[in-house]
Amino acid sequence: MSQRLIHSIVVSGLVLLLSGCHLDMYDQPKNPPLTSNAFSSDSSSARPLPEGVVARGHARTDELLYTGKTQGKFSVFFPFPVTERVLRRGQDRFNTFCSPCHGRLGDGNGMIVQRGFPRPRSFHNDTLRAEPPGYYFDVITNGFGRMYSYAASVKPEDRWAIIAYIRALQLSRRVPVETLSPDERALLIRNNP
């Protein structure tokens, strides 16, 4: 009797120990994001779309919104109204993706430039001030010289928001003092004694 009891305890103990080691639900045979996969030639589980395929909801028919052009020429208009919300989003995206090189003020003296990256032209020079928004859109989307494309990290809507913010930066350098309200003038004097 007692021997059977001991036996059953020992056996159930062993079974418990063994069953604690099953890991098949921890690593299931599926492909979560960012995993490798021996099946594909580049060993990544993420597959690029075959050429010419358009995913549902991703048809890019709006020429202005997605290329910055109208009838093949750089657009002078934005595809949507520039509101304060758009400007704030633009500021946030600009500081994240552009300021490392172009600097927070857009003068081309960001931290990465200080560490040896080629210095881009300042956004405040006359040629760049005269470029239409569509030109900026094209640079962000397709890159420019040694600057890589940011199409993969910045969505088209955010690219336009960034351009609106660059316009605000450009404007901020050339506002005649006379056009400021008394409050704004007082603030200016207080900040630049």
At which residue do the structure tokens 């045979």 appear? 29
Residue 10 contact partner, candidates ligand HEC, another protein, none, CB within 5 to 8 A by sort of partner: another protein
Residue type, 22: H
Under the criterion CB under 6 A, does residue 97 sit at the interface with ligand HEC? Answer: yes
Asked whether position 172 contacts another protein by CB under 8 A, the answer is no
Which candidate, 91, 117, 114, 116, places its Cα nearest to that of 104?
91
The CA distance from 159 to 93, in Å, is 8
Residue 74 binds ligand HEC, judged by CB under 6 A: no
The site partner of 98 among another protein, ligand HEC, none (C-beta below 5 to 8 Å per kind) is ligand HEC
Q: How far is the CB of 183 from ligand HEC (least distance, A)?
A: 32
DSSP type of residue 21:
T
Identify which of residues 10 and 171 has a Cβ nearer to another protein in the complex. Answer: 10
Closer CB to another protein, 64 or 162, in the complex = 162
3-state DSSP helix/strand/coil % of the chain, to nearest 5: 45, 5, 50
Residues 6+ apart with CB under 8 A from 93: 154, 158, 161, 162, 165
- Given its phi and psi angles, is residue 5 left (phi above 0), alpha (psi -120 to 50 degrees) or beta? alpha
Q: Which residue has the tokens 């993706």?
A: 97
CA 175 to chain centre: 30
Q: Rounded to 5 degrees, what angle do the CA atoms 146, 134, 172 make?
A: 85
Q: Which of 154, 161, 164, 169 binds ligand HEC (CB under 6 A)?
A: 154
15 binds another protein (CB under 8 A): no
Which partner, ligand HEC, another protein, none, binds residue 120 by CB below 5 to 8 Å per kind?
A: ligand HEC
With CB cut-offs between 5 and 8 Å by kind, which of another protein, ligand HEC, none does residue 172 bind? none
Q: Note the residues at the interface with ligand HEC (CB under 6 A).
A: 34, 97-98, 100-102, 112, 115, 117-118, 120-121, 128, 136, 139-140, 144-147, 150, 154, 162
Q: Note the residues at the interface with another protein (CB under 8 A).
A: 2-3, 5-6, 9-10, 13, 17, 20, 25-28, 30, 32-34, 36, 42-44, 95-97, 100, 111-112, 115-118, 146-148, 150, 152-153
